[in-house]
Chain A
Amino acid sequence: MTQAHGLEQTEASSAAEALSQMSFLAAVLSAQSPQQLPTGMAALPGPRAQAQVLSGLRAYRANGLAVAHRALMAAYPSVAAMIGEEAMQVLARDLWWHAPPTLGDLARWGGGLAAWLASFEPLAAYPWLPDCARLDWAVHCAATLADVPQGVEDLHLLAEVDPAQLSLVLVPGMVQVHSLWPLAELRQAHLVAEPDPEVIAQLLSLDRPQASVTLVWRQGWQTRVDTVTSAEAQFMQGLAEGQSLAQALEGAQDTDFDFQSWLLRALGEAWLSRAQHR
């Protein structure tokens, strides 16, 4: 056998291996339950497995759905509390088949749930769910970010530098979630041991919907969630986009924004990372 011929054989074997694995994985992840085993596979030789040739494949398919369910339950605790385990199972199954993981860390899978919920007809009567899912996912992702150091670097610059030449830098990973529903309150109301239906009904009453902004940020190794006013959100968005303090204040001038009050809260809640010259 020549060297070139041997190489061709090796490449052909590898290609066949890749094709076999592709067929197997496709059978495991397919929305349609396979009627036969993929080419190159057989049931185990035991009489029980032989009696039900697809039992092994079904075991892998069932395990996939179980891990999908666990992953969504962990990532979306308030949505799960709102709709229950069975509905989460259906959503996990559908999302698993529609958009299987691309990474080997299941905690990274499931980010498409909010969009999925928005077009999921059986839950259309609960229009706040997609936004609640966006908040759950934002919290889930924030929990994996690097720890934020305590304190604000160079805060003294605030008293020394012209606001047009000063930047206030927010802590890394801070996220705003905008909604017509009171997301932070809804989340809190559902994550207690025994959610109070009256409190939840009040939060969801149809005459209440108004723009709300929920802030997600990291304080040390902890993840924090709270509501901010639209004016605060607008100001912080300006800072996050790299505006100077003067520019961010100007952007919020037509609102009821009060910088002194915001600064006190920002220091108390550890929103600020540092002040710096531009």
Chain B
Amino acid sequence: MSHVGLGWRSPHYQAVLERREPLAFLEVHSENFFAEGGATMEVLRQGREAYDISLHGVGLALGSAAGLDPWHLDQLARLVEQVQPVRVSDHASFARAPLSPGLLPVHGADLLPVAFTPAALDVMVSNVQQVQDRLRRPILVENLSAYVRWTTSTLSEAEFLNELTRRSGCGLLLDVNNLVVNALNTAEADPVAAACAVVDAVDLAAVGEIHLAGYNDEGVLVIDDHGCRVHEPVWQVYAHALARFGRVPTLIEWDTDVPLLDVLLDEVRRAESVADAVSKAQREAA
């Protein structure tokens, strides 16, 4: 039984439904299915008949000091009720804030990093708890790739995430690609070792899913664009993560210049073979 799922995007709506490839789950962006009906919801209904669905949000803005948008939470709650997903997740980011004091919040439509401070932690814990209370289930929160840093941070990323999971009861969606992108952008001498150190620092029981994707070196910065195959350093960190966490559900994400389905399935098979190799090595060592 595979533990690997696929990020299901519009170019492959039809092909996935027709081919019924063996996949552990399909993951969709929750916001793409906020409609009350229509063609996309029909696609999701058919996908749900054949696969477990994981709902992965990009817009809850869990770290926003301006608070959650009740409309967004209503839409998500309706979708969760409808789909009964195996997992619900979003990011440890903010996006909602007013542009000037006294104005209503706008939404930046991006995954903006929060400062790793006790105050930002309080905000995120409160928002995550609000989501979980409404959905009546724990969610997973994903670590970010960040292109700026807050000088006000007083906690490490792992400390922040561990406190978040302990206090709110949420789980962690560990994006291994993001760990490597951050290590590359901060010019760690050994990016793989730096990413593995974060893997080792997060709470063992908190990790409920792993994301794998490709990144793009744009010269000044390495951008987490989900636009190519998973890079070798990411596979190495993934093997390390599996050795620590076991065979947790894993997602192949590809959102930019989405290739043929067979390319994505090839990445799925590779993730499975990495897991097999880790299991074999552990058996032999035992």
Binding site for B on A (CB under 8 A): 10, 13-14, 16-22, 24-26, 28-29, 37, 40-49, 51-52, 55-57, 59-60, 63-64, 67-68, 100-107, 109, 143-147, 218, 221-223
Which of B134-142, B169-177, B219-227, B237-245 is found at the contact surface with chain A?
A: B219-227
Whether A16 touches B119, Cβ cut-off 8 Å, given contacts A44-B148, A105-B72, is: yes
CB < 8 Å neighbour of A49 from B101, B114, B152, B185: B185
Whole-angstrom CA separation of A109 from B107 in the bound complex? 10
Question: Of B71, B117, B185, which one neighbours A13 at CB under 8 angstroms?
Answer: B117
Q: Is the CB of A14 within 8 A of B186?
A: no
Residues in B neighbouring A146, C-beta threshold 8 A: 36-37
Q: How far is the CB of A226 from chain B (nearest CB, A)?
A: 18
Q: Is the CB of B107 within 8 A of A102?
A: yes
Option from A18, A64, A147 in Cβ contact (under 8 Å) with B66: A18
Let me know if B21 is at the binding interface, CB within 8 A. no
Chain A residues with Cβ under 8 A from B101's Cβ? 19, 22
A-B contact count (CB 8 A): 189
Interface contact B221-A59, CB-CB below 8 Å: yes
Taking a contact as CB atoms under 8 Å apart, the answer to whether B100 and A55 are in contact is no
Residue of A nearest to B123 (CB): A17
Q: Is the CB of A107 within 8 A of B34?
A: yes
Closest to B220 in A: A55
Query: Is B260 an interface residue, CB under 8 A from the partner?
Result: no
Chain A residues contacting B246 (CB-CB under 8 Å) are none
* Number of B residues with CB within 8 Å of any CB on chain A: 61
In contact, B110 and A63 (Cβ under 8 angstroms): yes
B96 within 8 Å of A by Cβ? Answer: yes
Find out whether the CB atom of B38 lies under 8 angstroms from the CB atom of A29. no
| B265 close to chain A: CB less than 8 A | no
Quick one: closest A residue to B188, CB to CB? A46
Tell me the smallest distance from the CB of B145 to a CB of chain A, in Å: 10
Assess the B38–A145 pair: CB atoms within 8 A.
yes
Q: Is B151 an interface residue (CB 8 A)?
A: yes
On chain B, the residues within 8 Å of A40 by CB distance are 115, 150-152
Alpha-carbon separation in the docked complex, A101 to B108 (Å) = 7
**B residues near A48, Cβ cutoff 8 Å:** 187, 219-221
A221 close to B41 (CB less than 8 A)? yes
Chain A residues contacting B259 (CB-CB under 8 Å) are none
Q: Is the CB of B185 within 8 A of A44?
A: yes
> Which 10 pairs across A and B sit closest by C-beta, in order of nearness?
A104-B59, A46-B187, A56-B147, A13-B119, A144-B35, A147-B37, A18-B65, A56-B148, A146-B36, A146-B37
A-B contact pairs, 11 of them (CB 8 A): A29-B108, A41-B148, A44-B185, A100-B106, A102-B105, A105-B31, A107-B35, A146-B37, A147-B37, A147-B42, A221-B39
